[in-house]
Each structure stands twice: as structure tokens, then as C-alpha cells.
Structure 1
Amino acid sequence: MTQVDTRAPVRARKAPQPSSPPARRKNRWRRGRILAGLAVLTALVTAGHSLLPDGGNLGGFVETFLPWSGLLVLALLLGALLRRSATALVATALPGAVWLAMYGGALADGSSGKGDLTVVSHNVAAANVDYAGTLKVLKDSGADLIALQEMESAALGEYRRGLASAYPYYLGGSTTDGLWSKYPIVPGGFVEKDGIQHIGTAARAVVETPKGRVAVYYGHLDSVRVTPRSGFGADPRNESVKALSAALRSEPEERVLLMGDLNGSLTDRAFDPLTEQLTSAQETAGQGFGFTFPAAFPMVRIDHVLSGGKLTATDSWLLPRSGSDHRAVAASFKL
């Protein structure tokens, strides 16, 4: 007897067809829209940082770390590549171009060699007891002028003894600051804030170099505190900046230097009164951003050497690490 096969016939399944090239291209443009939005936002904040509100010093806080927006651009680029998103790739080019326009010049070496006057500024840190190591770093720099900040009384004695032979001229600043020089120093008084001399201001001196007099402002401006209540608490420092700026406007000498721990980045709008009158040696003659704090992994440059008048920076660099939580900054000038 013949058996009849009653099973339904098995239909052959078609293999999935790869999407056509036009479809793939269309998907690349649809993907990564969130990344593209973040890229546009990054570009707007970087380029338009001056328009950010400054309540709680928010604008200044963002501007302090603005150079690091370059890392955000790289992260967005990596995300666009992983997502294979043409939209995100194109959008990422926008903040990339903005960053290069603003900070690309810092990548070039602006040094033209040693000048007539070499200076060093260093916050040696109150907790630093490696006096011998710090003194070696300072003396090996070959500086003509050295400004130190944050010295406790015991430390001041160590640095005065250690620097006396190479730097016979010394002038104290505020409670914890001092200036050492190979050339004679004429005291010039303090920069006052609200009629009061205190740690948050700077001292002034005139140094008589073989090629002429140089007015030197040196000091340690007020610390910045970030708290939930006050935000980026920089108001005392900002008031010191204004007082220092006013003193500089009336400076009679043709050559002017400002050295010290200013407790802020010059990208912060609060320093505009200073940068309108003085020029950063690092920006003029250095290479890179020259971040100084914290020394173990520097993220911001708060230690500065600036100049004005008939002073031209020819070089700017960082000294080797000492026992401080700050890196020392050095610069050379043509008189």
C-alpha cells in the first residue's frame, strides 16, 4: 500500500540580503545625533565662554579648565568612530577647529633662547621640608631673580642661608613671601587692598640690573575655595587682582615683572585687568600650557611670570619637581 506524505513542504529560506550601499550611507548619517549635539555644545561653550554667567564665579571656573576641552573633543571623536557616525564626525570637527584656533599656538615652541635676565617663581609649600632638594632646584636654574611663596618661619631661615652666597640681595614680601636677587634691590612697598597690607596682595621692589631698572611685583594672591554654598569662591582673590592691576597702571618704571602664585589661570576672566597690561612669558616664549598644580599631575597653571613695558620674553619653562605641590616656573627676558 502506498503511503502518502502529508507533511507540509519545507520552504527554502532566503538568506538575509546585506543592505545596499545607499542604505548604509543613510544609516551613518542617522546614527550619533546625541554625540553631534554634544560636539556643537562643546564648540559653543569653548568659543562663547565669555558669555557664560558668572554667578558663583561659574564663568571663571569653566574658563580655568577650558584648555582641557581638547580632551572632550578627542572623546567625541572616538565616540563618533565607534558609532560609525558621519554626522558625529562632521560635528566634532567644529569644536576641534575652535580649540585649535584658541590654543593650537601653545603647541609650538616660542623660545628664542636665553635673554639678559632670568627669573624663577616658586611656591615652595608650607609642608615641604626638603629644603636641600628645593634649594638645589632653585640654584641650578641659573636665575638672576628668585621669588618664593608660602614659606613658614623655619623655612625662611633655611632658604635665606641656602641662597645667601649666590643671591646677596634679599627683600621680604608679605608674611610668607620673599625675593632674592644677584643685583641690588630698592624696596618699593606693598600693593594694598582696601588700605590693608596682607597675604592676599603683592610686594613691589625695583631691581637695578646692569642693563637698567626693573620693577618687580611678587607675591601670593588669595586662595580659591570651591564649596556648595559659595560655588567657586574666588572673590577675595579677584579683589586682590583689581588692587594689583591699579598699582600696575601707575607704575613709573619702563620695565615691569610680576611673579608669583596668583591662584588662578590667566584664561579666567578675573585676570583680564592684568592681562590687558602684562603678557604671560609662557604664552609668548614657552611651549605647551606649562601647568604647575598639583605637581604630581598638573592640571592648571596658577604660578606665573608676566611682563610689561620694555621687556621681551625669550624663553619660559618649568623647573624639575621639588618637595612642593607646585612646579616652579622660570622665564628669560631681553632687557
Structure 2
Amino acid sequence: MLTPPTFRSIEGAYLALLKLATDEHEHHIAARGNEAREVIGVGFRLPDPRQRLPYLATRKTNPIFQFAEALWYLAGRRDLEMISYYAPSMRAGSPDGVNLGGSAYGYTLFNPAVGDTVSPFDRVLELLRTETDSKRGYLPVFSPAELAVGDNPDMACLAGLYLLARGGRLHMVCNMRANDLDCGLLSDVFSFTMIQEYAAVQLGLELGTYTHFIGSAHVNDRNAERVRKVLAEADMRSLPQHFPFPAMSAETTPATIRQVLEHEELLRTNKVQYSADDIAHLDVDVYWQQAVLLFEVYRQIEHDNTDTVSRDVLDALHPGLRWLLQHRWPPCATAGGEQ
């Protein structure tokens, strides 16, 4: 049976692809001045898409941005105002300084197309509710119109997401035009598996497998030193870190996403300050309170000019999220200590 390699979590897939592109690359390319090592046509499968975070100290993964981006997609947004707060470098991809284009995948997925009244995502959900074993649940994102834009600064890397309901589980197949393995892959898989789990919740299905295919899988030369250090860390450790992540709450709805983002905006604009106890009593369920805790951590880092982050907020986080923050930001390590 010819299936993609299977990994327990995104970390294993990430490391395998980094090693492949570093040691066995097929091409050395320089598209738009970005020199990179490339392999063509690769993929992998995650049996449990919830294990969407890598625990590598050298990589310094940013779960705050990853939750923000996933929520930005789920809300169908394309504005820079929110997402550039968490990733200022994304401003470079905006053609007008206000919105993003092709990379605003959620805008394409969760808003009606011109002349329609229902979003592609909702149409696919309705299809899967009514047609058993449907093969039509494909959500295209890349548009041929993007090719007609001269010097397009923000062409979609995501070709499309394919939802398949089989045996009481919702599976997803992702097709990428291209993936920067060191930078884009981790954020993409985090967000797309969140969209998959959100869809499964809406349909009342269990979460199935996630399969990821890439046309051009590459590592940019400018990131080669960090990649070398990440691979060295993985080779030297005796056992990988593992923090199983919980299931998305079955009560999650579009209203839930709106509620979380209302608190996100208050924190981003520094209009509120939350303790862990405050967050525990918000109108947000326990699963999504983790995102609000992350946004409060970032509010403290960005707005409070502090050398430490509140211990109560860090202690309320899932251990895996706390581990990642402590290895990325000194204020988090100082306040919470190593766990």
C-alpha cells in the first residue's frame, strides 16, 4: 500500500523533511532571489492531528502566533491590523498596507464568493452532512487569477483543503503549492489541523487523519544554520518531549470564535488586563481559555515592559504551551521556571 510516511506528531514530520531537504535535496533554486534547497513532491500523514506542536528548544516555536493565525483564518479575516501584531514581518506581503492577499486563506474559505451567499466551507459541511462518502468536499484556495498579478507579493502557497468523512471520522488532505519547511510548514499544519478539527466538531464527527502534500518543499539558505542546530538537537537528545494536546470542545461554534477574538482585541489594544482567575470566569470554554491565556502573556510582553510574566497566567497554561513559551521568551522562563 503506497501511503505517505506516518508520524506521531508534526515534530517527526518536520525533522524528517528538514533532513531530506538538507542532505538529499534535488535542486538548488533561487526563485525571486531566495536561494534554497528543494525537493519536489513530498508528503506525510498524522494519525492524530491534535499533536500539531513541535517541542524543540532550538526552533523556539511561537504558539501565541499559531493560535492567533488559526483564529484569524477561522474568522475569515484578511486584515493586517490583527495578525501583524503577532508577526510584524507579514506586513511585507500586503499590497496595500491594510489587507493580505493570497495568504489570507480564511478569507477565501469562510466568506461567500462573489455572487454567492454561503461560504465554501459551509457549503462543504452541508455536502458532507447530506452525501455519505462524498468525494466532492474540496476547498480550493489558490486562484489562477493570482498568476495574472505582476510581481505578486502574496501568492497563496495553499492550493486547497480536501475534507473526507469516512467511518464516523473527518479526514483532511492538504495540497500545498510550496512550503518553506523551516518557517511556513509548522504554522500551516497547526492552522489547517485546527480547521479540520473545527469542521469535525461542526459535523459531530471524530477527528480523522491529516495528510499533507507539498509540490516544492524547500529550506532557504538563510535559515540553514538554524536548521543545522535543530537537527543537531534532535540527534543529541535521548527522548523527545511529548505533551499530548486536548480535544477541541464539542461546543465550539462560530460564536465561540467571535467571543475569543473579542477578548483577543481587548488584550491586543491593552484595554484590559487579565489574571488567570479572570480568564477562568470568562464566557469562553476551558479549551479556548488557553488561547486567551496566551494572548494575555503576549500583552504583558508587548505592553507592560516587564522582565517577568505573571506566574498565575503561566501556571494555568497547558504544560506544552508553557514549555514552548519558556524556551522562547526570557520573561516566561523567569516567571514560571522550568517545568
**TM-score, normalised via structure 1 length:** 0.29
Instruction: Name the one with the larger helix percent.
Output: 2
Question: Normalising by the residue count of structure 2, what TM-score does the alignment of the two structures yield?
Answer: 0.29
Which has more radius of gyration?
A: 1
Greater strand proportion: 1
